[in-house]
Amino acid sequence: MRTFIALTLLIGTGIFTALFFGFDLKEASTTLEHDDEQTGIRDETIITFSHVVAEDTPKGRAARRFASLVEERTDGEIKVEIYSNASLYNDQNEYEALKNGQIQMIAPATSKLTERFPRWQVLDLPYAFPTYEAIQEAYEGTIGETLLKEVEQDQMKGLTFWYNGYKQMTHTNQPLLQTTDFERAHFRVMPSPVLKSQFESLGASASELPFNKTYTNLEVDFVNGQENTLSNIYSKKLYEKQNHLTVSNHGYLGYVVLMNEAFYESLSEEHQVIIEQALTETTDWIRRHSIEMNDAHLRAIKRDNLMDVHYLPNRQKQAWQQRFETVYNEYELMIGHHLMREVKRIQNEYN
Ligand code: LMR
């Protein structure tokens, strides 16, 4: 009987205390430990960023820089997963994958948009932009603005332009200096009709091939020359198949950074601001550092004797430019007077 009374008293006191002071669930929940194996407690957004070049290149390093800025500033709420060297998608299918939402971000060379948007060929015109300042004005001024607007038709968000460098010519077994050196040569080009015409105007022929097929096509001798930046020539070891390099600076290779628009719109305003800010900083960084990276690769090519390096003399450059006039005439209508006028204005300002 005494036990029964003690038990009743204990339960009664418990109920009275709980009713009087309340059950402090808030306090209880903050002191509870999370189960470490439980994933997905905090939502994480993944940005899959696919590109085709090596890690140690301007684009490869800029992608990593952008990823760490975004991850740090969103406190890990956004994670940028980078797939380099065409390990996920190559330059022939990455645009479609972005459009379909299979990935969220790409940064193709601007030439790769010309099939869909022919006016983008303005950036491929040979000797269009004579200095780095001229390139910046093209990308960040009227030309860039006009071109970025076009991609909206494809539900793409054109975020910024990234820099790589001037393209140089390489060939398997002969220096490319005189226009006659181009006769019978066959070049790999990116998919842009202007680039094909550029080589045809010099008396050569050209085939459009994906970047990651360039080495093997040089190896089997399907093509015997190509044009690219020093960082791409070096990082893809194209020097193993090419004996001659002509420093000609005859065209510029840069990138457009694109995001799937629906994905971008699905992000919170705060995250959009962080992404845009990270891109602005990364663009500033790549604009400055791409120049020294390409210079370093040229020094390495010379130091290790990887190719015979020739510099295009001014006299030959003028001969090339004379041939390129036909390219300007051929594409004026397709590119449009507005953009062509802007190219001429930039040329006059920086020449
Ligand atoms: C190429 O195809 O040569 C370039 O677009 C590669 C790159 O992305 O720099």
The full set of domain ranges for the chain reads 39-350
Tell me what the pLDDT averaged over the chain comes to.
91
pLDDT confidence bin for 343, thresholds 50/70/90: very high
The residue contributing the CA closest to ligand 1 atom 3 is 211
The yes-or-no verdict on residue 278 having pLDDT over 60 is: yes
The yes-or-no verdict on residue 13 having pLDDT over 90 is: no
Task: Give the Å distance between the CA of 71 and the centre of ligand 1.
Answer: 27
Ligand 1 atom nearest to 59, measured from its CA: 9
Residue 277: its pLDDT value, please? 98
Q: Which of 91, 96, 84 is nearest to 48 (CA)?
A: 84
Q: How far apart are the C-alpha atoms of 26 and 260, rounded to whole Å?
A: 41
SS (H, E, C) the chain: CHHHHHHHHHHHHHHHHHHHHCCCHHHHHHHCCCCCCCCCCCCCEEEEEECCCCCCCHHHHHHHHHHHHHHHHCCCCEEEEEECCCCCCCCCCHHHHHHCCCCCEECCEHHHHCCCCHHHHHHHCCCCCCCHHHHHHHHHCHHHHHHHHHHHHHCEEEEEEEEEEEEEEEECCCCCCCHHHHCCCEEEECCCHHHHHHHHHCCCEEEECCHHHHHHHHHCCCCCEEEECHHHHHHCCHHHCCCEEEEEEEEEEEEEEEEEHHHHHHCCHHHHHHHHHHHHHHHHHHHHHHHHHHHHHHHHHHHCCCCEEEECCHHHHHHHHHHHHHHHHHHHHHHCHHHHHHHHHHHHHHC
Ligand 1 atom nearest to 111, measured from its CA: 5
Residues 62-88: pLDDT tens digits? 999 999 999 999 999 999 999 999 999
pLDDT confidence bin for 28, thresholds 50/70/90: very low
Residue 43: its pLDDT value, please? 79
Residues 210-267: pLDDT tens digits? 999 999 999 999 999 999 999 999 999 999 999 999 999 999 999 999 999 999 999 9
Given ligand 1 and candidates 91, 92, 233, 255, which is best to mutate, with the most ligand atoms within 8 Å of its CB?
91
Given ligand 1 and candidates 106, 114, 232, 297, which is best to mutate, with the most ligand atoms within 8 Å of its CB?
232
pLDDT confidence bin for 42, thresholds 50/70/90: low
Task: Give the Å distance between the CA of 49 and the centre of ligand 1.
Answer: 16
Mean pLDDT within 317-331: 98
39-350: CATH superfamily? Bacterial extracellular solute-binding protein, family 7 (3.40.190.170)
274 lines ligand 1 (CB under 6 A): no
Mean pLDDT within 172-198: 97
Ligand 1 atom nearest to 210, measured from its CA: 2
pLDDT confidence bin for 17, thresholds 50/70/90: very low
Mean pLDDT within 152-180: 98
pLDDT confidence bin for 114, thresholds 50/70/90: very high
The yes-or-no verdict on residue 40 having pLDDT over 70 is: no
pLDDT confidence bin for 19, thresholds 50/70/90: very low
Q: Which of 8-17, 182-191, 214-223 has the lowest mean pLDDT?
A: 8-17
The residue contributing the CA closest to ligand 1 atom 8 is 109
Residues 303-314: pLDDT tens digits? 999 999 999 999
The yes-or-no verdict on residue 317 having pLDDT over 90 is: yes
Given ligand 1 and candidates 52, 207, 230, which is best to mutate, with the most ligand atoms within 8 Å of its CB?
52
The residue contributing the CA closest to ligand 1 atom 2 is 211
53 lines ligand 1 (CB under 6 A): yes
Mean pLDDT within 276-298: 98
The yes-or-no verdict on residue 33 having pLDDT over 70 is: no
